[in-house]
Each structure stands twice: as structure tokens, then as C-alpha cells.
Structure 1
Amino acid sequence: MPRRSYDHYCAASRALDVIGDRWSLLVVRELLSGPRRYSDLFADLPGISTDVLATRLKDLERDGILTRHRIGPRATSAYELTVDGAALRPVLDALSAWGTPALGERRPTDAVRAHWLALPLGRAIGEQIDKGTVTVRIGETVFHVVVDGAEITHQDGPAPGPAIDLVLDLATANAVANGTLALADAGPDAQWSS
């Protein structure tokens, strides 16, 4: 299928030609924390059809945003961001910051995954420390945030080596992520430990 284009001689337009399709940036969001298998992406993108996911993955691979490689004895495909794909982190972080005030109360129809809170929690952690690594545990979900001055990234799993552990329940993590609760005021459900 030929690529749709805005046909505007504009940098924003050209960027949207590549990542402006519905679900594309959310696929990138899922890959910001590391490689994922197709089944993991499908499970963590509620509402996407298998056809749309397959199409977005092919398009993003064709456009150099992600790469696919085979892993394990069953040769399962895993998808991973390229350097160009990882360069979209500030875009997603800016969208996350901009969208935080719009979160409001969670609606009964809203899906939620704890790792979706990584971007806003990373910002909250970045306000607490200038440099360091923090492992975040929300129920069974574990990821770590690396703060190095203004740069904040996150990866799946606990931080290698010594790190600060932050243990939150989902409600507290959500309150911190949506800006209704400061991380410093997260109470007994937030545990900072070295």
C-alpha cells in the first residue's frame, strides 16, 4: 500500500507522514523501555487489532523507526527501536507532560498498564534527584528510571547494581503520574530504600 502523505513541505508534516498514523506513537511508547515480542505488544495495546498492529510494525520498520530480529530457540520475532526511533522519546515525554492535566479521574472504560506511568513517573523522579537510577515497582511491574541531569530514560526490569527502590501501589503511582500527588508526599505506599 502506498504511503499516505500530507504533501506539505514542512518538517512537522514530514514527521507525521512517518509517525502520525493511529497507534504508531503508542507502539513506540511500548518499545521505549526495551525490545518486545509481538504478543507482548498486542497484550499491552488494548483495543488494537492484530491487522493494525502488524501494519504499524511493518510501516515503522520500513521507515527505520524499529527493527525486528529473531530470538530464542523458537525464532520468535522481537521488535526494538532504532536510533531514529529512540530519538522520539522527547516527543513522547512532551506529549505525556502536555496530556497529564487531561487525565483526570480514570473512567471505567480506561485500560491501564503500570508501565504506561514510566514517562510521568520519570519526570517526578527527576524532580527528586539530579542523577541516579531508581527501580520502580508497581505490583508485578518492574522498570527502572535513569536520571542524568535533564535526560531521563527508562528500561524494563530492575536496575543493575545498587539503586534506589521505589515501591508504589497502582493508585498512588497513578496519582503521582497525573500530578495530583507529589512523589515526596506519596505516603506509606511509597518506599524509598537504598
Structure 2
Amino acid sequence: MKSYGQYCGLARSLDTVGDRWNLLIVRQLLIGPARYGDLRAGLPGLATNLLADRLRDLETAGVVRRQVADAGSAVAYALTPWGSELREPVEALIRWATPLMVEGPGDDRFDPAWLHVALPALLRDRPRSRRTVTLGLDVDGALLRLRVGRAGIEVETGDGDSDSDGGDGGRTVDATLRTSAHLLLGLAAGALTIADAQAWGAVDIEGDTDAVHRVLGG
């Protein structure tokens, strides 16, 4: 890796993670440990040889480590404890990029898995009710579950069926929100309100509407 040759925290940080694709690899590993093939799938446009080079550099720097995957002897990549501390600057960059997201995706690719990092970043400073609220999200056909409470913000893959009977081991949702990734990110960032999205016919809510407002405002 090339160095800026400057005794400055920012310069040395960029020496380590500033190369093209490095922070996007970190984004993928903030979602969770991943095998090499999973990283390739989550990083469209990244050549396999360049991914191997970047992983090797990050491992040498102490940002990434290899471990045994859950399924057996296969290798998975994970962030080290020090590497995991990149969550804060990554989330700050996501919030900073809000004006850049307003124009929509255009021809850019989108993976719903990226919402696992984006939604906690955008919702971090929102007021939270004492009661945990769970929303089912149907984002362009991809099903996720967003749980927001005093303990924190979690995003997981799951169905978006609303259900208030308390079954399913507490994994039911208070409401289901169906919309596009563009609109959901705008709502989470506070760039538009639910009322606006409903007026445009761009969002559909099934279940406890108040629960949606408690999480996303507006």
C-alpha cells in the first residue's frame, strides 16, 4: 500500500483503509463475517484478484482476520476488534452522504443487505420510545425486519408480515412498511416525511401506523 508519508491520524487512517474498495469491504463485514464468495456477491464491480489483494492488505494491517465459517471448515473473513471500530466513521460518512442520495439510484446497483449498515447509521440520533418497536420492511421486494429500542437498532433478514398476537417467539412485527430503497433511506435520514411519501403513493403501511411514526417520524 502507498503511504502519504504524513504523521497525521487522518493520513495514516487513509494509508490503511483509504484505497479504493477498502471501506466497502469493511461495510460488508460490518454486516457480519463473510466467505470470499459472499464478499464478491456483495461487492458488484470488484474484480476477484483485486478483492484478494485488498483482503490481504487489510489482514496485514490488522483490520481483518480469517476464521472458520459456521458451516464447517470453510474460511470466513471478519473484522478484528480494532477493525470493528470503523463502524463509527463509516456511519458518519453514510449520514454525511444524505444530500448525495437525494437524486435516487439512477443506474447504480443496490443490495438490500446494505441497509443493515445504513439504517442504524441514519436512525442513530432519532428519539426512541421505551418500548421496542419492530417493523417489517418490504424494500423493492426484499424482506427485512427493523427493531428499534433503548437497547439499540437491529436490522435482520426476515418476513414483513404484521402480527400483534405476540407469537413467533416475540419476532412478530408492529407494522409492515412497503416502499423503495430510495424512499426508505430518505425517511430514515429525515429528508422527507411519511405523510409526504403517502401523498405520493410511494409507501404502504399495514398494521400500527403509530409504530412507524415512532421509528421514522413524520
TM-score, structure 1 normalization: 0.78
Percent sequence identity is: 34
- The 1:143–1:4 alpha-carbon spacing in structure 2 relative to 1, beyond 3 Å, is farther
Tell me if 1:173 matches 2:184. yes
* The one of 168, 190, 193 aligned to 1:182: 193
Contact 1:65-1:81 within 8 A present in 2 as well: yes
Residue 76 of structure 1: how far off its partner (Å): 2.3
- Identify the residue that residue 140 of structure 1 maps to in structure 2: 142
Aligned to 1:111, the other structure's residue is in SS state coil
Superposed CA RMSD: 3.1
Partner in structure 2 of residue 9 of structure 1 = 7
CA contact (8 A) 2:63 2:83 kept: yes
Distance 1:141 1:78, change over 3 A: farther
Deviation string, structure 1 residues 125-182 (Cα, Å, up to 9, x no partner) = 7515256474653333435556547xx5545445x96367363335142432454433
| CA–CA separation in structure 2 for the residues paired with 1:88 and 1:184 | 35
Is 2:170 the counterpart of 1:162?
yes
Unaligned runs of 5+ in 2: 159-167, 212-218
Q: For the structure 1 residues 43 and 183, does the alpha-carbon distance in structure 2 shift closer, same or farther, using more than 3 Å as the test? A: farther
C-alpha displacement of 1:49? 0.8
Matches within 5 A, 1:14-163: 14-71=12-69, 75-122=73-120, 123-124=122-123, 127-129=126-128, 132=132, 134=134, 137=137, 138=139, 139-142=141-144, 144=146, 148=150, 154=154, 156-157=156-157, 162=170
Letter in 2 for 1:162: G
Structure with larger Rg = 2
Structure 1 residues 185 and 106 mapped into 2: Cα distance closer, same or farther (>3 Å)?
A: closer
The 10-residue stretch of structure 1 (136-145 or 31-40) with the greater mean CA deviation from structure 2: 136-145
Report if aligned partners of 1:34, 1:80 keep a CA contact under 8 Å in 2: yes
Instruction: Kindly indicate whether the alpha-carbon contact (under 8 Å) linking 1:124 and 1:176 is maintained by their aligned counterparts in 2.
Output: no
Q: CA deviation at 1:70?
A: 2.5
1:78 Cα shift? 1.2
Matched length: 189
In structure 1, list runs of 5 or more residues that go unmatched. none
